[in-house]
Amino acid sequence: MICKICSESLLHSRKVRFLYGKRLKSYFIIFCNKCETGQVNYFPSNEEIFTFYNNIGTQKLFETKNKKNLLRFNKLDSLLEFIFFKSNHNTKNFINFLDIGAGTGRYCKQLQDLFNYNVEAIEPDKTKCELLKYFNIKYHNETFEDFYKKNKKKFNLIKLSQVLEHVSNPLSFLNNINKIMEKNSYLWIDIPNCNENYFNSRNNDLVGHLFFFNAKSIQYLSKLTNFKLISIGSFGKTLKKKSFKENFIIKLKSFIYLYTPLLLLNLRKKYMYNRYKYKNINFSEESYFINSKMKFFENNFENEKLFILLKK
Ligand SMILES: [Zn+2]
C-alpha cells in the first residue's frame, strides 16, 4: 500500500485503530512517514460509499411550510467575513462562488441575498437539495467529480467545508478544483484537525472519514496541487486531552461496537434516529437566519477544526 497523497510506501508506517470504520470495512488509520497524512487501510468502492451515505438518514433542517422563502440574511457569517478580509475582497466586485458540499446552503444564501453574486451549490444529498431549492439557490444534486466532467465555468471563490476527509482521492480532487478556478482566485478548505490531540481525545470517527489531515499534511497537499498559502489555523471547540477514565470508556465502547453484529447496530441506529428526529422537530426557519460568529485563530492549532485559505 502506498500513500495516496505523496506515493511513499506505507509498509512500515505507524497505525492506530479506526474506532468506527466497520461499516466501510476500514479497521485502521495508517500514517505516512513522509507527508503525515492519515488514511484508512481499506478504501471502499464508490458503490459502497454511496450505500453508506444513503443510509445515514439526513433530515431536513426545518419543514418548508411556506410556499416561498421570504426571509433574507442582512449580514454575513464570520466565516465569509474572514475570507473576504484575508483576500482583500471588495464586495462591490462581482464573483462566481461555488460551494462544494453546500449542505443547507447558508453561505450561498448570504452571498445571494447581500451582494447578488452568482452562487452555485454542489450537494449529493437529495434531502438537503430540497432546502437549496426552497431558497432559490442554483444547485447540482451530484458529486463534484460528476459536476467537473461537464462544467465549463470558472470560479473566483470555492468553499470546501468538511468534505476533503470524505473523498477517495484528495489529490486529484484538489487538482480538478484548481482547473476550474480563475487566476488570483481563492479556495477555502476546512476539515477536522487531526493532530495528536485529536487522536487522544476523539470519541468517534463514525462518519465515513477516509483521510485524516493535520496542519503539516494539508499544507503539503496544497503545495502539491499548486496553491499558494494565504492563511492557516483552527476554529471551533478546543481539543482537550481526555482523562484516563474517559479514554477507557471510549476504548470499551469501540471494542463493543467492533464485535456487535451489524444487524443489532442498525436497530440501535434506527432507534436513535427516531429519537433525534423527535427532539429537533421544533427547529424554526427563523433560526436559520441567525448569524454564526465563529472565531478563527491563525497559526493556532488547538481547536477541533482546521482551516486553510489558498490562492491560485
Ligand atoms: Zn504521504
Average pLDDT over residues 154-172: 95
Residue 17: closest CA among 9, 27, 7: 27
User: In this predicted model, what pLDDT tens digit does every residue of 2-34 receive, in sequence order?
Assistant: 999 999 999 999 998 887 777 788 889 999 999
With a cut of 80, say whether residue 304 has pLDDT above it: yes
Given a contact cutoff of 8 angstroms between Cβ atoms, the answer to whether 188 and 155 are in contact is no
- 19 C-alpha to center of ligand 1: Å? 22
**How many of the other CB atoms lie within 10 Å of CB of 301?**
17
CA separation for the pair 198, 208 (Å, rounded): 16
What's the gap in Å between 223 CA and the centre of ligand 1? 13
Please give the grid coordinates belonging to residue 188.
477555502
CATH superfamily of 73-279+290-311: Vaccinia Virus protein VP39 (3.40.50.150)
Distances (CA, A) of 190 to 187, 235, 236, 284: 10, 9, 11, 27
Distance 36 CA to ligand 1 centre (A): 6
Q: What are the structural domain ranges in the chain?
A: 73-279+290-311
pLDDT tens digits, one per residue of 211-228:
999 999 999 999 999 999
Taking the CA atoms of 140, 178, 107 and 96 in sequence, report the sign of the dihedral they define: negative
By three-state DSSP, how is residue 218 classified? helix
Query: Does position 288 have pLDDT exceeding 80, yes or no?
Result: yes
CA of 306 to the centre of ligand 1 (A): 19
